[in-house]
Amino acid sequence: MRIKTQSKEITDKKEANEFLDRYGLYAEFWQPEVTDASISDALVRFKNQIEKLKKKFGYASADVCELNTKSPNLDKILEPFMKEHHHTDDEVRFTAEGEGIFGINPLVDPPFKIYVEKGDLLVVPANTRHWFELTEKKNIQCIRVFKENPKWEAIY
């Protein structure tokens, strides 16, 4: 995880967590529990961490979302994510593969960007203004965690 603000770049995990905490954001850094290369299902590879996270925050379900250059209509799919919005629920994303960028507008300070990569969990609390974009690699596989059945409702 790397955070870019107007004045600095943060790469240290402890410093990143302290910075994110100021804005109510939460991060963890996971390693797969199942390292068998023949098991590609991210929900299996990170099962215990997902269950601990669900218990800690009261989440109920999880799924996997994958976007890459092979995704049909990728630009059209990404369009709604790239506009600043918020949700009435937390946005919980664990990057199992690839990378992406969460832009955060805390409203009390200038916006900043969080570059997530393999192993990064980010919880963007409900009602936090944000957007999401892919890096130039255009490849990410995320575990999404929800309080209810998977749904993504943006308020622009």
Per-residue model confidence as pLDDT tens digits over 21-75: 999 999 999 998 888 878 889 999 999 999 999 999 999 999 999 999 999 999 9
pLDDT on residue 149:
73
What is the distance between the alpha carbons of residues 129 and 110, in angstroms, rounded to a whole number?
Answer: 12
Residue 151 has pLDDT above 80, yes or no: no
Q: What pLDDT, in 10s, does the model give residues 89-107?
A: 999 999 999 999 999 999 9
- Domain residue limits, the chain: 2-146
Mean pLDDT of the chain: 95
C-alpha closest to that of 60 among 51, 70, 48: 51
Pick the CATH number of 2-146 from 3.40.50.1100, 2.60.120.10, 2.40.110.10, 3.40.50.2300: 2.60.120.10
Give the Cα separation of 99 and 147 in Å (integer): 24
**Portion of the chain with pLDDT greater than 70, in percent:** 99
- Higher per-residue pLDDT: 74 or 149: 74
Distance between CA atoms of residues 26 and 114, nearest Å: 12
- Name the burial class of residue 122, with classes exposed (0-12), middle (13-18) and buried (19+) by CB atoms within 10 angstroms of its CB: buried
